[in-house]
Amino acid sequence: MEEKAAELVKNTNAFVVMLTDLFIRYALSTVGAIVILCAGWLFAGVMQRWTIQSLARIHGIDETLTRFFGALVRYAILIMVFVMVLGQFGVQTASILAALGAAGLAIGLALQGTLQNIAAGIMLLVLRPLRVGESISAGTIVGTVQEIGLFATELKTYDGLYMLVPNSSLWNTPVTNYSRLKTRMHDFKVSIAYDDDIEKAFAIIKDIVDAQRGVLTTPAPVHFVSALNENAVVLCYHYWITRDEYWNVVWNTIKSVKTAFEQEGFRIPYPQTMYLLADKGKKGDVPASAS
């Protein structure tokens, strides 16, 4: 009986010692984990703000991009802190890092299209081929940029419709920006009859163009005969216009030249072959092949 009692006391003492050892060991690990977690959380926030402020000082870096990189730095630090906390409790961090790497690879393959849009969005925000408020065209995509995001770009079409375009579509297609440069050239072409006065036609066009607001004298306008077609002489007049007045000048030039040519007696060339056939048809002199 005494031996059983002594054995019970011995086992109880061993159990108490084991509990005390576990308490001391994991209490210290818990305190260390809490300290690491709190310090890491604060450090991640500080590094996020520092990243955003540093990138904001760089000219041309979009606010969306600075916030993205700030969040990326913060979550990368938090992942490292999480791994360090698990290491405090004896967890093998090497296996955790391997698992995180495998999970990241699987997620990357599953979200390949999304990641492609993010990469394209970063390049669009860094290189800035388009900005908010600019009018662009890229393939069949035409409109005014409303917002550039990390995944997609919002545009407003010329007929007032909303368009959401994946960034990869814009990045993989040549972009024409109609708003970036301050001046544009108008390549104005008009046809006159062979017996019309070429120099008089050029003088009319010059007077109409020079009288409009937004037309530039430098570079100087250039005019020439661009083609001698079967039924008409094609006149070409190159001149430069400020960006804001471009379409007003273009539309007014086309209308004014048409009106002035009619007043000065310039004839609109018609296909001569068809004209002669139609004229013969009216007189009854129709070729046998046409009857």
At residue 180, φ and ψ (nearest 5 deg) are -70, -45
User: From its phi and psi, is residue 83 left (phi > 0), alpha (psi between -120 and 50) or beta?
Assistant: alpha
The pair of structure tokens assigned to 229 is: 């077609």
In the prediction, which pLDDT does 275 show?
47
Decide if 153 contacts 168 (C-beta within 8 A).
no
Distances (CA, A) of 189 to 156, 206, 248, 251, 257: 31, 13, 17, 13, 11
Which tens digits make up the pLDDT trace of 170-199?
998 999 999 999 999 999 999 999 999 999
pLDDT of the residue at 50: 87
Q: Other CB atoms closer than 10 Å to residue 2's CB: what's the count?
A: 6
Amino acid at 201: A
Show the domains of the chain with their CATH numbers: 2-110 (1.10.287.1260), 129-177 (2.30.30.60), 183-272 (3.30.70.100)
CB neighbours of residue 85 within 10 Å: 20
From the list 271, 266, 258, 269, the residue with the least C-alpha distance to 188 is: 258
Residues in the chain: 291
- ∠ CA 99-100-104, rounded to 5°: 120
pLDDT digits (tens, 9 = 90+) for 102-154: 766 666 655 556 788 888 888 888 888 898 899 999 988 999 999 888 788 99
- The CA-to-CA distance between both ends of the chain, in Å, stands at 137
Q: Lowest mean pLDDT: which of 73-87, 190-204, 208-222?
A: 73-87
Task: Give dist(CA 223, CA 108) in Å, integer.
Answer: 57
Q: What is the pLDDT of residues 36-53, one digit of tens each?
A: 888 888 888 888 888 888
Name the residue with tokens 């390949």.
112
Interval 54-82 mean pLDDT: 77
